[in-house]
Amino acid sequence: MSAELRRMERLTEPDELALVRKFASINASFVRSTYGSGGLAYREVGIMPEDGSAIQWIPVLEAETRLAANAAKQQMRTYEGRIAVRLADADPRPADYAHCSEEQKAILRMSQTEYNRRFPANAGNQ
């Protein structure tokens, strides 16, 4: 019931709040909308810098690009974190994702369920 209520709130929330939620992983704190006589003219996302200085306003398109780059970095960190566990017996064990063979990369990209099904002896090591 509460999950349904949260879903309904998100459907009815203002566009600006939805964008702040969407871009939260890149430190978006604000959305600024500019309206003209024809309606919405322009929208910017306010990024709070790490040092706490002035808000950096960027176009939504640039924020989308940063969000995609952030997601790709996060995925790479996930793969590299799996090297120590999933490729523990590799000789030599690759230092990072770039040094993995195609077979090793495929193992790192597997979901946990698929990995456990394919390598049942290692399932408890995760």
Mean pLDDT of 40-61: 90
Provide the mean pLDDT of the chain: 86
**Among the listed residues 6, 29, 7, the one whose alpha carbon sits nearest the alpha carbon of residue 16:** 29
The pLDDT, as a whole number, for residue 17 is 86
Give residue 70's pLDDT band: very low, low, confident or very high (50, 70, 90). very high
Express each pLDDT in 87-112 by its tens digit.
Answer: 888 888 888 899 999 999 999 999 99
Pair 69, 76: CB distance under 8 Å:
no
The pLDDT, as a whole number, for residue 124 is 59
* Residues 54, 63: Cα–Cα separation, whole Å: 17
